[in-house]
Amino acid sequence: MRKIKKKERELTRKRTALFVFYGILALILVGVGWRIYASLKTSVWDGRNRINLVFRSKPLFIASLEPSEAVMNLLVVPDGTFIEAAHGYGPYRVEVIYSLGELEGKGEMLLADSLQEYLGVPLDAYVSPDKKELIIDNFNNTVKIKTQILGTMMGLFKGEGKTNLTRWDLLRLWWETVRLKNNKINVVNLNETSASSEATLPDGTKATKIEPERLDRIVNRLFVDEKIRAEDLTLAVLNSTGKSGLANQGARVIANIGGRVVKVGEIEGMTGIGKCQIRSEEKYRETYTVRKIREIFDCQWSREKIEGQRTEMVIILAEDYWQKLYAPLSSSE
């Protein structure tokens, strides 16, 4: 009898231990599953289409990866390049813009916003190494560049640095970069182009200035999105704010990635709308062009027509875009 009871107690302990073990395992799996789901839900990149990233390195560079063609284009913006910083900061050397924004705890935002508008390139993500500065001393060595980019991605995956990319994004980018052949990494250094010229600042120091029209020709070659170009939808870009120049700035970004902008102008009677709008027929709603422009300008889609507009799509830039460019950084979200 005692032996039977002893065996029953041992069997009960084993069952309890197994129950606890499988319970803990289930909790771990649920936790891992939730993290994967959250990473997918907040993912910046779909893994299929072109992505543009700014690397806060020395010197700074923009990487544009086209996974369908297994090509990565790099645009190097050398230290000393004088650009107009967003949010009302005015002209600064590109290498100090991050530090300016860091005073408000928004260094990455200021850097990305400034480069997007100066270069006329939509930037999907920023990469800011933390523990060890990413220094590229030879952009002719694509093998070394690829190794450094892979190392930076892995460091960010481990939490070493700052980025708006999720871990799932980082894994996919790491894998797509691994797949790149060295001869498929193309580098353009602005210092070595006809768009660059040396200038003397009022304080006597030297800086690099970039000629805007020549810059756009370079950018269009490196960052054009072939899916937008292939859809070839006609676009009108209109400014609803009453503040001059906004439509031209937005149109430049769209044109530089292959959009066919046929009209740029102002629109009356809509002053005060807070958020960008895209208006088109229903059949264009899920086109790649509409989805991409919605991402760039954070627009709402509507089928409502605008009298007198004959383009297939109308983008109405609003107060939120002005805030992104000119509002003090402390007031930005």
Lowest-pLDDT range, 138-147, 237-246, 324-333? Answer: 324-333
Mean pLDDT computed over 54-58: 93
Tell me: do 177 and 72 sit in the same domain: yes
Cα-Cα-Cα-Cα torsion 211, 214, 219, 221, nearest 10 degrees, comes to: -170
Any domain includes 250 = yes
pLDDT attached to residue 5: 58
Tell me: do 86 and 230 sit in the same domain: no
Mean pLDDT computed over 133-142: 85
* Residue finishing a domain among 181, 210, 239: 210
pLDDT attached to residue 6: 59
Q: Which residues contact 100 (CB under 8 A, 6 or more apart)?
A: 85, 89, 92, 107, 110
What value does the mean pLDDT of the chain take?
A: 87
Q: Which residues contact 288 (CB under 8 A, 6 or more apart)?
A: 49, 227, 228, 231
Tell me: do 243 and 301 sit in the same domain: yes
Mean pLDDT computed over 36-62: 82
| Digit-coded pLDDT (tens) for 208-267 | 888 888 999 999 999 999 999 999 999 999 999 988 899 999 999 999 999 999 999 999
Any domain includes 136 = yes
pLDDT attached to residue 110: 93
Any domain includes 271 = yes
Lowest-pLDDT range, 108-122, 191-205, 281-295? Answer: 191-205
Tell me: do 85 and 104 sit in the same domain: yes
Tell me: do 97 and 8 sit in the same domain: no
Domain of residue 284, CATH code: 3.30.70.2390
* Residue finishing a domain among 210, 240, 267: 210
| Digit-coded pLDDT (tens) for 164-194 | 999 999 999 999 999 999 999 999 999 899 8
* Residue finishing a domain among 145, 178, 210: 210
Tell me: do 184 and 37 sit in the same domain: no
Confidence check: pLDDT of 297 > 70: yes
Any domain includes 186 = yes
Domain of residue 203, CATH code: 3.30.420.590
Tell me: do 81 and 196 sit in the same domain: yes
Share of the chain above pLDDT 70, in %: 86
Any domain includes 219 = no
> 173 with 130: CB under 8 angstroms?
no
Mean pLDDT computed over 269-273: 72
Any domain includes 77 = yes
**What domain range is 243 assigned to?**
224-329
Lowest-pLDDT range, 84-88, 132-136, 170-174? Answer: 132-136
Mean pLDDT computed over 97-113: 90
Confidence check: pLDDT of 42 > 80: no
Total number of domains in the chain:
3
Across the chain, which distance is largest between two alpha carbons, in Å? 101
Any domain includes 27 = yes
Mean pLDDT computed over 119-126: 94
> 280 with 260: CB under 8 angstroms?
no
pLDDT attached to residue 15: 65
pLDDT band at residue 309 under the 50/70/90 scheme? confident
pLDDT attached to residue 18: 62
Phi, psi dihedrals of residue 241, rounded to the nearest 5°: -85, -20
pLDDT attached to residue 33: 45
Tell me: do 206 and 61 sit in the same domain: yes
pLDDT attached to residue 173: 96
- Residue 166 or residue 201, greater confidence: 166
Any domain includes 258 = yes
Tell me: do 190 and 231 sit in the same domain: no
Confidence check: pLDDT of 290 > 60: yes
Highest mean pLDDT: which of 72-76, 104-108, 322-326? 72-76
Which residue from 210, 300, 225 is spatially nearest to 256, judged by alpha carbons?
225
Confidence check: pLDDT of 143 > 80: yes
Tell me: do 32 and 55 sit in the same domain: no
Tell me the three state secondary structure of residue 185. strand
Mean pLDDT computed over 275-281: 95
Tell me: do 55 and 33 sit in the same domain: no
pTM of structure: 0.84
Mean pLDDT computed over 56-84: 94
Tell me: do 129 and 11 sit in the same domain: no
